[in-house]
Amino acid sequence: MAFNIGLLGLGTVGTGAVQLLLDKSGRHPLLQELVIRRVGVRSLNKTRAVSLPLQVLTTDLEAIVSDPEVDIVVEVLGGLEPARSLILKAINHGKHIVTANKAVIALYGDEIFTAANQARVYVLLEAAVGGGIPVIQPLKQSLGVNRIQAVTGIVNGTTNFILTAMHAADRAFNDVLADAQRLGYAEADPTADVDGLDAADKIAILASLAFGGRIKLPEVYREGIRQVSQADIAYARKLNFVIKLLAIARQEQTYPSNQLQVRVHPTLVPQSHPLASVNGVYNAILIEGEPIGQVMFFGPGAGAGATASAVVSDILNIVADLKTRAQASATNVTAHPLLTCSHQDYCRVAPMADLVTRFYARFLTQDHPGVIGKLGTCFGSHGVSLESVVQTGIQGDLAEIVVVTHDVREGDFRSSLNEISTLEAVDSIPSVLRVL
């Protein structure tokens, strides 16, 4: 049997996928049955790293998604449009979809999966989260028997590269960002990465799979890493933490049913935690469930080859299913229950004020005796109990005080900070970070 692929986009990931599909020996034998029928590009004149027959390349992307010979449309354009429209048109033409596009799935997943379920086609997206790391399919297939309690990930390679470099070399965010841009690890406009938008897309997708309900992307709480300073990194190290941008989805037993935390923010991670040693552009996703306990998936979060591995493995999963049910009449097929995504409901995202977590905060205060006592009294009156208080040094004529709290309701902690910021002895509160 031959299965025809229509590829939308021939950038980094598209090129990687074509290279893999053209170089089949030593890989799964099912690859022999895949044919690249059309590849949609913006320009026919650009020099390409892969050589494809001239008639395969086209600038007419609409023609690919409606081509009756195409079985599977692979969308690696990125961005919201025309990706969304093309995916929906392909679905309406009965094509199965493989996509690496976290943004379009995180924002339009509802519309896309509803259309796919009506058309009885699959939409697979392993490459959208964690690059090459198998995590979407294991969540659907291997971990689905668990009650998932939490998904905690380092899912953005750019910010992990920057934070790792800041830790290793005691350098400022802006310097390291400039380096990352020179090395190609960060975009010229780094907003999507450093402000946490990319990580928010990814945790929305992971939360949806882990907790069986759709997530409204604007409800995902998001803080980026621009405000992480060298001082914070140094204090974190002293306190046996490293600072990582974590994407977290968690269901607390104390929450009303089906309420989730879904949040992205820089976090102090204990040095002994499995995520603490995930460095550079690597990604890792830690999943906690009952009865499995903790499992972690680690690997390259980006890159042409790794992402292509995920894209082509999705193609293979679809083809394997199509082969299995080739004998069933086409009108009477049951979609594979571990490949489909059939959530109808939305998860309710809990307000951040209800989050219970530890906090790290750094204060600049007058260098008077008794300031720590005033802070402590103020925290205590809001029910905030402190794990450690360190007067760490002097900056100019101000004293620098760092506190780490015990678990506290975020709303209570914010109230205490509001009151503290009005104290005459307190100059400013340069950093507030959550602690894992």
Residues forming contacts to its own copies in the complex (CB under 8 A) are 16, 19-20, 26-28, 30-31, 126, 132-134, 137-138, 141-147, 274, 277, 289-300, 303-306, 308-310, 312-313, 316-317, 320-321, 323-329, 332-338
Tokens of 41: 């590009």
Give the HSE-up count for residue 340: Cα atoms under 13 Å, Cβ half-sphere: 16
- Collapse the DSSP code of 241 into the 3-class scheme (helix H, G, I; strand E, B; otherwise coil) and give the result: strand
CB of 95 to its own copies, least distance (A): 19
CB of 299 to its own copies, least distance (A): 3
CB of 413 to its own copies, least distance (A): 31
* Nearer Cβ to its own copies (254/422): 254
Give the HSE-up count for residue 107: Cα atoms under 13 Å, Cβ half-sphere: 12
- Collapse the DSSP code of 71 into the 3-class scheme (helix H, G, I; strand E, B; otherwise coil) and give the result: coil
Could you give the angle at the alpha carbon of 120 between the alpha carbons of 342 and 206, nearest 5°? Answer: 35
- Collapse the DSSP code of 182 into the 3-class scheme (helix H, G, I; strand E, B; otherwise coil) and give the result: helix
CB of 20 to its own copies, least distance (A): 6
* Nearer Cβ to its own copies (83/127): 127
47: Cβ contacts below 8 Å, ≥ 6 apart = none
* Nearer Cβ to its own copies (324/381): 324
* Nearer Cβ to its own copies (348/414): 348
Task: Judge residue 255's burial from the number of C-beta atoms within 10 Å of its C-beta, 0-12 exposed, 13-18 middle, 19 or more buried.
Answer: middle
Q: Which of the following is catalytic: 202, 238, 323, 374?
A: 202
- Which letter, b or e, does each residue of 325-348 get, where b requires 16 or more Cβ atoms within 10 Å of its Cβ? eeeeeeeeeebbeebbbebeeebb
* Nearer Cβ to its own copies (11/380): 11
Phi, psi of 202 (to 5 degrees): -70, -40
38: Cβ contacts below 8 Å, ≥ 6 apart = 6, 7, 56, 58, 63, 64, 67, 70
* Nearer Cβ to its own copies (27/374): 27
Which residue in 208, 190, 245 sits closest to 223, CA to CA?
245
CB of 354 to its own copies, least distance (A): 21
CB of 241 to its own copies, least distance (A): 16
46 is catalytic: no
- Which letter, b or e, does each residue of 108-128 get, where b requires 16 or more Cβ atoms within 10 Å of its Cβ? bbbebbbbbbebebbbbbbbb
CB of 384 to its own copies, least distance (A): 33
* Nearer Cβ to its own copies (8/275): 275
Cα–Cα distance, 75 to 396 (Å, whole number): 55
Strands 3-8 and 34-40: parallel
* Nearer Cβ to its own copies (291/373): 291
CB of 183 to its own copies, least distance (A): 17
Element (H, E) at 162: helix 157-169
119: Cβ contacts below 8 Å, ≥ 6 apart = 91, 92, 94
Catalytically active residues are 202
